[in-house]
C-alpha cells in the first residue's frame, strides 16, 4: 500500500468514525424517531426532541450530507430499518454505541498496554449495549430458524422433549435466551454471565417478552455453573472467557445423555494472514481495544482475544474431553458454528 493510499484510507476511517458518533447522537436524543414522525426543519426537530434549534439545524444538514437523511430532511430509503427498527433483520444502529464505547475506554487500554493489566468488562458500558444491539437481530431472526435447525437432532430434542433444559453461557443481556424460549414453548432456559449489569438487563428483557416464568438469569462463572441440560449454548463469548477449556469441560459434565454444546464464535481465517479481510480487520481492532483487555482483567488461564480460529476452538474441545467436535455448515458473515458432543 502506498503512503497516499494509506492516508486516504485513514481519512475515510476518520469520516466513518465521526459519522458513527453523529448516529449515536441521533439515537440517544431520539432525533431519527422525530424525523420519522414528521419533524422536517430545525424548529420542528428542536421542539419534538427537546433540543437546541441551532444544534438541530447542524445535525439535520450533517445527516443529509452523509446520506442518512434526504435533502428535504426525511429519512433516506432504508434508514428506518437500519437506524430505528431495533428488532429488525437490517438493524445496525448499535454500531455508533459500539464505537463510542471502545473510544471512551481507549485511554485505559493505553495504560493496560504499559502495565500488562486489563480493563474490566463491567467498565465497557456502551460496548455492552452495542454488543447486544448488534447481535439481537441475529438471535431474533436466525437462531431458531436457521442455526439450530441446521442440526436436526438438536431441533427435534427441543421440540419433542417435555421440559427440555437449555443453559446459555455468557448470555449477556439475554436476547439469545429469550429467543430460545419464544421459539420452543416447552423449554426452560438459564442464562449465566459474569456481568451483573447485563444480568439485570436480561431479567428486564425476559419480563418484557413474557417469558420470565421459563427464563432465569444468574451472575456467575461459566466454568462453575451447575445443573443438567439438554443443550448448552455459547454465543460469541467463548473467546472472552479466561478458562475456555475449563468452561467446555464443565459444560460437558452438565449435559444429559445425547445432549449437545452449540457454539457460535468469530468467523476468521484458520491461520494468520496479512493483510486480512474487512471482517477480520474489524475483529482484530475489537480484540485490541476490548476483548483482550477485558479478558486480561480476569486473571485468565488463557487470554485469547477476539480472533478465535477454528483449529484453536476444536483443540480446546478435545482437551475438554469431547470426542466429536465439529464445524457446522451454517452460513453467516460474522460467526462460525460448532457442535460438541
Question: Is residue 205 in a domain?
Answer: yes
Query: In this predicted structure, what is the pLDDT of residue 334?
Result: 95
C-alpha cell at 63: 445527516
SS3 state of residue 164: coil
User: CA nearest 36: which of 79, 86, 66, 89?
Assistant: 79
244 pLDDT higher than 90: yes
Q: With beta carbons less than 8 A apart as the criterion, state whether 127 and 134 touch.
A: no
Query: In this predicted structure, what is the pLDDT of residue 129?
Result: 93
Query: In this predicted structure, what is the pLDDT of residue 15?
Result: 97
6-20 pLDDT, tens digit each: 999 999 999 999 999
Question: Is residue 254 in a domain?
Answer: yes
What's the CATH number where 44 sits?
Answer: 1.10.10.10
Q: 159 and 79, same structural domain?
A: no
162 pLDDT higher than 90: no
Mean pLDDT of the chain: 96
C-alpha cell at 312: 484453536
Instruction: Give me the percent of the chain exceeding a pLDDT of 70.
Output: 100
Query: In this predicted structure, what is the pLDDT of residue 190?
Result: 98
CA distances, 274 to each of 6, 243, 271, 280, 292 (Å): 15, 28, 10, 10, 20
Question: Is residue 283 in a domain?
Answer: no
What's the CATH number where 168 sits?
Answer: 3.40.50.150
103-132 pLDDT, tens digit each: 999 999 999 999 999 999 999 999 999 999
Query: In this predicted structure, what is the pLDDT of residue 285?
Result: 96
35-54 pLDDT, tens digit each: 999 999 999 999 999 999 99
C-alpha cell at 196: 451483573
First to last CA, the chain: 45
Question: Is residue 189 in a domain?
Answer: yes
161 pLDDT higher than 90: no
Query: Mean pLDDT throughout 56-61?
Result: 98
Question: Is residue 26 in a domain?
Answer: yes
Q: 161 and 247, same structural domain?
A: yes
Q: What is the DSSP-derived secondary structure letter of residue 279? A: H
Q: Give the predicted TM-score (pTM) of the model.
A: 0.93
Question: Is residue 183 in a domain?
Answer: yes
Domain that holds residue 67: 16-83
- 37 CB neighbour count, 10 Å cutoff: 10
Q: Which residue, 83, 112, 141, sits at the end of a domain?
A: 83
SS3 state of residue 252: helix
- 32 CB neighbour count, 10 Å cutoff: 24
Amino acid at each position: 500500500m502506498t503512503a497516499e493510499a494509506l492516508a486516504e484510507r485513514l481519512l475515510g476511517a476518520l469520516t466513518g468514525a465521526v459519522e458513527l458518533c453523529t448516529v449515536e447522537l441521533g439515537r440517544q436524543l431520539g432525533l431519527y424517531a422525530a424525523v420519522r414522525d414528521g419533524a422536517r426543519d430545525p424548529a420542528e426537530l428542536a421542539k419534538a426532541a427537546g433540543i437546541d434549534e441551532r444544534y438541530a439545524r447542524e445535525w439535520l444538514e450533517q445527516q443529509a450530507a452523509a446520506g442518512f437523511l434526504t435533502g428535504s430532511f426525511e429519512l433516506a430509503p432504508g434508514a428506518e430499518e437500519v437506524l430505528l427498527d431495533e428488532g429488525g433483520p437490517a438493524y445496525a444502529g448499535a454500531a455508533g454505541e459500539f464505537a463510542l464505547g471502545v473510544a471512551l475506554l481507549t485511554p485505559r487500554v493505553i495504560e493496560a498496554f504499559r502495565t500488562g493489566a486489563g480493563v474490566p468488562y463491567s467498565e465497557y458500558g456502551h460496548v455492552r449495549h452495542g454488543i447486544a444491539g448488534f447481535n439481537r437481530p441475529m438471535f431474533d431472526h436466525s437462531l431458531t430458524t436457521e442455526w439450530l435447525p441446521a442440526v436436526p437432532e438438536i431441533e427435534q430434542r427441543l421440540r419433542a422433549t417435555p421440559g427440555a433444559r437449555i443453559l446459555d453461557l455468557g448470555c449477556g443481556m439475554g436476547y439469545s435466551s429469550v429467543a430460545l424460549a419464544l421459539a420452543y414453548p416447552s423449554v426452560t432456559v438459564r442464562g449465566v454471565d459474569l456481568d451483573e449489569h447485563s444480568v439485570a438487563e436480561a431479567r428486564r428483557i425476559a419480563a418484557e417478552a413474557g417469558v420470565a416464568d421459563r427464563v432465569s438469569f444468574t451472575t456467575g462463572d461459566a466454568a462453575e455453573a451447575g445443573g443438567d441440560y439438554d443443550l448448552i449454548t455459547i454465543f460469541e463469548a467463548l473467546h472472552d472467557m479466561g478458562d475456555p477449556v475449563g468452561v467446555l469441560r464443565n459444560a460437558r459434565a452438565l449435559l444429559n445423555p445425547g445432549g449437545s454444546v452449540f457454539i457460535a464464535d468469530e468467523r476468521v481465517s484458520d491461520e494468520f494472514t496479512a493483510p486480512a479481510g474487512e471482517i477480520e480487520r474489524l475483529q482484530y481492532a475489537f480484540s485490541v481495544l476490548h476483548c483482550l483487555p477485558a479478558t486480561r482483567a480476569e486473571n485468565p488461564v488463557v487470554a485469547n482475544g477476539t480472533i478465535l480460529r477454528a483449529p484453536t476452538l476444536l483443540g480446546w474441545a478435545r482437551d475438554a474431553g469431547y470426542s466429536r467436535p465439529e464445524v457446522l455448515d451454517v452460513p453467516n458473515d460474522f460467526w462460525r458454528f460448532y457442535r460438541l458432543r
